[in-house]
Amino acid sequence: MSILINKDTRLIVQGITGREGIFHTSRMMDYGTQVVAGVTPGKGGEWVLEGKVPVFDTVHRAVEITGANTSVIFVPARFATDAVMEATDAGIALIVCITEGIPIRDMMKVRQYLDQQGSRLVGPNSPGLLSPGECKVGIIPGHITQPGNIGVVSRSGTLTYEVLYALKLQAMGISTCVGIGGDPINGTSFIDVLGMFEVDAHTDKIVLIGEIGGTDEERAAEYISDHITKPVVAFIAGRTAPPGKRMGHAGAIVEGGAGLAADKIAALEYAGVAVVEYPEKILDFLK
């Protein structure tokens, strides 16, 4: 069992003819994901990957022909917001945006539009989602994990990979991994994913990977205290980050005294979450 994606996911790749788009489309197909179409304006009528995937000029046309229900976006930042809204207008239920560097002002407009239309966005600046043995949407390496009962939600890509592989080495698997993205404005929050894991019968434990900047982890802590009955273990990156120093992600910056690692850790521990000092300690708790 999984959340958001599964074997029935029918995927469109926006920006499929670009270098990143074609590379990761191939990897997603190798994993078993049903990639039913690609979209690149001006390239409609072409086929890619040895004639396996048709390319359309618009998302609307791709959905009309293939019945796609999910889209993943590999387009430059200056085109990404239009790509998200195009997918929304075409009726795509789940949109995953890998693109980073989208201006915050643009994302505020996109988020408002999505809330009005009802589509779900994961990202931007997200590694995507992975449900082992079922579906992979994005850039999370498929070979570093296996099916199991642990749900993973994270703001960090590389830390997620480290944890997933460590779990696999200890014969532990996951139900679904969701990379919500590291930007200040995103489409899906910790709270959204935690709620899905809570009602998923095949997720028994939850791993939350956060980092400095913003207050998403503090809000997640409140939600966990009030709504989550399953065990949660967390790791917060950036404990030793200098104030005002951005650590990789656009959202990973402490400003005005908000977003400190110590505050996030305190809030999570108060909510009953086991917060570990190092990523590898997550395994000790899950055992």
How much is the pTM? 0.94
CATH class of segment(s) 10-122: alpha beta
Asked about 60 being catalytic, the answer comes back as: no
In this structure, what token pair is assigned to residue 154?
């994270």
* Residue 195 confidence (pLDDT): 98
pLDDT digits 0-9 by tens, 83-110? 999 999 999 999 999 999 999 999 999 9
* Residue 248 confidence (pLDDT): 56
Which of 161, 170, 158, 263 is CA-nearest to residue 219? 263
Fold that domain 141-286 belongs to in CATH: Rossmann fold (3.40.50)
| Dihedral angle sign, alpha carbons of residues 153, 157, 162, 165 | positive
Q: Which amino acid is at 240?
A: T
pLDDT digits 0-9 by tens, 235-254? 999 887 676 655 555 555 54
Q: Give me the mean pLDDT over the 276-283 stretch.
A: 94
Catalytic residue among 24, 60, 143, 249: 249
pLDDT digits 0-9 by tens, 209-244? 999 988 999 999 999 999 999 999 999 998 876 766
| Residues 246, 251: Cα–Cα separation, whole Å | 8
Domain spans in the chain, listed from the N-terminal domain onward? 10-122, 141-286
Element (H, E) at 54: strand 53-56
Question: Fold match between 10-122 and 141-286?
Answer: yes
Q: How many residues does the chain have?
A: 287
Cis bond upstream, residue 124 (ω within 30): yes
pLDDT surpassing 80 at residue 283: yes
- pLDDT more than 90, % of the chain: 88
